[in-house]
Structure 1
Amino acid sequence: MAADVNLLTTKADCDQALTSLTKEKGTYAHRDYNQTYADTQATDRATTVAAQLAKATDDVAHYTTEAARTGLTEGEKRAAQRALIAATARKANLELSNSAVSGPTAYLADVDADQIDAQIATLDASIKAVEDRKAALPS
């Protein structure tokens, strides 16, 4: 149900309503911007982690081959094993940090984004209605 713009009986009432609506819209626009920024950061982070994970996977393969190579001195074999352990740990850590947000958390984030979008649309419509009402009122 739309708000009854006819409750505003003077241009001053309209100005007061417009001020409040504009401030409230600014709050929701800020939240919308923050969500967009967070999404961009998450996308950038996922891209970076994916590249790091690919490198760590390559490192694990390389050091696995290196540690299995015959003819290594004891020092070379230990160095290859240490490098393999480090690469494997790095790969495992990246795999843990690469998990996407899903399930209820992702769903609720989508609901929040939908609420913000709907609120901004409602405020835009309300601002337009008040502006039209103000223009229709006598001076």
Structure 2
Amino acid sequence: MDHPFESNQPIYQQIRRIIEDQILTGQLAEGDQAPSTNQLVQFYKINHLTVSKGVNRLVEEGILFKKRGIGMFVAQGAREKVIRKRKKEFLDNYIYGLVREAELLGISEEEIMAFIKQVKGRGKNDDARGI
């Protein structure tokens, strides 16, 4: 569970994303009990209200649900909800800008796809910018 926090994003959003990542990777399956607010507070050494805000956002989105007196659990369909949400974020944060820049540079769809395949084919330590 160890996770360093980044300064460019509020911690409550990072807590939310950590739990979403656990759902996406299968660490937390539908019906599983999610880490409690107290567990997250103790593990990450952060404010209770910060953790609560992140967890409550997941409840509002229908990704987690509360069982009074028992804890938080992963909702049915949570993984699909996270995937849909993340795909929209990916489109908004990366694809629109990529397409806009490609149009400005006169890069065709075929060239974009070739670049993507080039990057995917390289190792993580390789420099994928050798265009």
Task: Tell me, yes or no, whether TM beats 0.5.
Answer: no
Structure-1-length-normalised TM-score = 0.28
Tell which structure's C-alpha radius of gyration is larger. Answer: 1
In proportion to residue count, which structure has more strand?
2
